Structures are given as C-alpha cells and as structure tokens.
Amino acid sequence: MAKILTEAELAPHGRDTDGKPLAPLGYLVNGRPRRSNRGARAGGNKPKASPGTRTQTDVQRKEMLIMLTEMTLVNTLVAASVAPFIHNVIGNRQAEALAGDAVIISHFAPALADGLIVLSQTKPGALSWLDSVEEKAPYLLLAQVGINVAKAFVGNHVSPDARLNAAGRTLMQIRAAQMAARIEQEAADMGMRTEWVPDAENAA
C-alpha cells in the first residue's frame, strides 16, 4: 500500500499562487522539495560543479558521511572489542583487534568521503541515498549520543577506572556544594540568615 504523503512532506516551504510547491533549496531525488541544504546533490538548481570542485554543500555531505561511518562502523567495532560475547566467540586477541580496525576506518573515513563526493559530481546517483538520510539527521544525532554513552558504560564496567570512579564521587560533592552556595546566595539576597543555628528547643 502506497504511503500517503502529508502537506508538510509535499510542500515544506508552502506553495506559490498556482499551487506548485516552492523549492528554494532544490529538490530531492524523489522529486519532493528539499527541506534543508544538508545532503544536497552537487549541481542541484545550481551550475554544475566540475569534478574536484568543493562547495559548501559538499562540506555538509562530507560531515554527514563521516558521522555515519563513525556511528555504523567505528563505534560498533569499539563496542564489540570489549563485549564479553565477542571475546568468547572469536577469542581475546581477535576481539581486541577490532578496536584497531576502528582506528584504521576512522583515519581513512575523510578520504573515503572525499572520493564519494567527487564521484557523485559525475554520477549523482552514487550518493542519492543521502536524501533520505538527511531527513533523519536529528534521530541519527540522538542515536550517536546513545551509542557513545553505551560504549562508555561497557568500557567502564569491563575495565573500571579508579580515577573515573573517584571523579564521580568528587562530582557529587561539587554538585552538592554548588547547590548549597546557590541556596545561601538566594537567602542572602532575601536578607535571611545564611548559617543554620539550632533553636533552644532542638538544642536541649
């Protein structure tokens, strides 16, 4: 069953006097108006750039490609390298090597993104899938944060860091001191006593 598109999807920027959807940022591959410049295809509604020419749109596309690489490959490999299940399946040595693989991929990700962008200037379909990804960018950013948090939790419990744990306790003390200082300042602003003195009944 075909999906019924909403007006926000069909005409995110409104319509002209003839009812045609406005497209100030160009069009997606599926023909709908683009909501933002992120992921825009080189040459869309603009003079076609020659191969190797970098535009602001290409910079945004490179950032998106690197982010996707970090999320789908780098973070996954690092998390797998400390997962007990993976260690049991492929052994400690190979599991730990996955973290090294993540470093290699992260190092070459910018160069790979540049190559894909140059390729898309002569073969626009090479990165047409970014059109659908750009609409999910906010969710991808939230997912990236979640993956990083989960990875940090796994790493901390697999190999607890005494300094990190001590820092957590110190942080709790700092937050308590900040809260007390804020309350004392509010009391001083209101002309109230800032030091607690027990009354005679409680002191007895």
Most confident of 105-109, 135-139, 162-166, 187-191: 105-109
* 8 A C-beta contact, residue 46 and residue 61: no
111 vs 202 pLDDT, higher one? 111
Tell me the pLDDT band of 101, cut-offs 50, 70 and 90: very high
In whole angstroms, give the CA distance from residue 103 to residue 66. 13
Reply yes or no on whether the pLDDT at 87 is more than 70: yes
Contact 49, 43 (CB under 8 A): yes
Confidence of residue 81 (pLDDT cuts 50, 70, 90): confident
Q: Is the pLDDT of residue 97 over 90?
A: yes
Q: Please write the tens of the pLDDT for every residue from 35-71.
A: 766 545 444 444 444 444 444 477 777 888 888 888 7
Mean pLDDT for 147-173 is 80
